[in-house]
Structure 1
Amino acid sequence: MTSNNPSLDSANTTEDSQVIQAAKPSVDMEAANAQAEKIIKKQVKWAAAAAIVPIPLLDLAALATVQVKMIKNIAECYGCEAKESSLKPLVASLAGTLGAAGLSGGLLGSSAKVVPVAGTILGSIGFAAFGSAATYALGRVFASHFASGGTLADFNASAAGSRLKEEFQKARSE
């Protein structure tokens, strides 16, 4: 509601912005960045562990669960809310941007497990490498996004695709 008195309007605007600032939690960025790194490192280990699931495609579901949990926890470090229902399609979409590397490491590694013994071993090794690198890359992309003040509402998956590929290649080369 506006009045005819400009000084009252500006006072209301100032009050409104103070309320908004008071409602937004203050985040210690140094602590948030350190906590996000710890979360990424821990979830990369869990992503590798998902490779031991012997059932094809169930290992992919386990990996997606690890990644969704990681992003949710990273968001919380920066004072953002992230619902798992919103993250699941986003993670699937981003995994698709990894292209051939994602196909060969993820689906083929998982599918190889249908071959007894050798397929399970080789599939698990390939899937562990893919899952770890993909999880690291997702974690880095989201930590950077949240650290710069972003939220899930303004996250642009197509714009993040090239950064995700860079982080994925970096993780695979280490």
Structure 2
Amino acid sequence: MNATVNEEITLFPESVVDADTIASPLIKRYSLIAAGVGLIPLPLVDAVLVGGVQVKMVYDLAKAFDIPFEESRVKALVGSLVGGIAPTGIAGGVATLARAIPVVGVAAWYFVGPALAFASTYAVGKVFSEHFQTGGTLLTFDADKIRVHYKREFEAALKSKKSDNAQAEVDKAAPTDATNISGNAKK
């Protein structure tokens, strides 16, 4: 008796990929784009543009995790998350008001705006990515329940961005191979 098997056995499905391998580069790329948009010193214009960057990032994350995307729902969810934390932060509120002061306010915004845009976008990416990784969809995303996690990610990203900026200043001030400690060029 001969039996034939018409079923293909797959030992390593192509879809098995580390989720962070997919999500992390997307989150970082869109966070950096948002930081660039955060340089725009026009109130509301920058917020609208950063919101657009965040919605596009969630679209790409949803696509990567094969989650159906509904733009109006994502806009509402992102707005609920970001609106629940970003404006209430003292630094964000003061910086937003400070933009109204000619010259000084705009100059101050160039330091604060990109960091806030980066941190907000990073936090949005992290919470949506983790939600999608655990089998969640846009329909099961509860912004009220996730807001605490968003706030934690936002604060961590803000601290990270500040430490990155501080490290860049240290690196810029540190002597290079071409200079000695006194700052004189080596011969």
After TM superposition, the score normalised by the length of structure 1 is 0.76
Pair 100,118 (structure 1): closer, same or farther in 2 beyond 3 Å: same
Pair 118,75 (structure 1): closer, same or farther in 2 beyond 3 Å: same
Give, in whole Å, the separation in 2 of the partners of 1:157 and 1:120: 32
Superposed, 1:1-174 pairs within 5 Å as: 28-98=15-85, 101-102=88-89, 104-105=91-92, 107-174=93-160
Give, in whole Å, the separation in 1 of the partners of 2:14 and 2:131: 14
Offset of residue 30 of structure 1: 2.5
Structure 2 residue matching 1:130: 3-state secondary structure: helix
Provide structure 2 residue ranges, at least 5 long, that are not aligned to the other structure.
1-12, 161-187
Pair 112,75 (structure 1): closer, same or farther in 2 beyond 3 Å: same
Structure 1 residue matching 2:141: 3-state secondary structure: coil
Pair 161,80 (structure 1): closer, same or farther in 2 beyond 3 Å: same
Pair 99,68 (structure 1): closer, same or farther in 2 beyond 3 Å: closer
Q: How many residues matched?
A: 148
Contact between 2:38 and 2:116, CA under 8 Å: does it hold in 1?
A: no
Pair 64,27 (structure 1): closer, same or farther in 2 beyond 3 Å: farther
Structure 2 residue matching 1:154: 3-state secondary structure: coil
- CA RMSD, 1 decimal: 2.1
Offset of residue 108 of structure 1: 4.1
Provide structure 1 residue ranges, at least 5 long, that are not aligned to the other structure.
1-25
Offset of residue 109 of structure 1: 3.0
Structure 2 residue matching 1:158: 3-state secondary structure: helix
Pair 160,135 (structure 1): closer, same or farther in 2 beyond 3 Å: same
Percent of paired sites with the same residue: 34
After TM superposition, the score normalised by the length of structure 2 is 0.71
Structure 2 residue matching 1:86: 3-state secondary structure: helix
Structure 1 residue matching 2:132: 3-state secondary structure: helix
Give, in whole Å, the separation in 1 of the partners of 2:53 and 2:142: 21
Counterpart amino acid of residue 113 in structure 1: R
Give, in whole Å, the separation in 2 of the partners of 1:46 and 1:138: 14
Contact between 2:38 and 2:114, CA under 8 Å: does it hold in 1?
A: yes
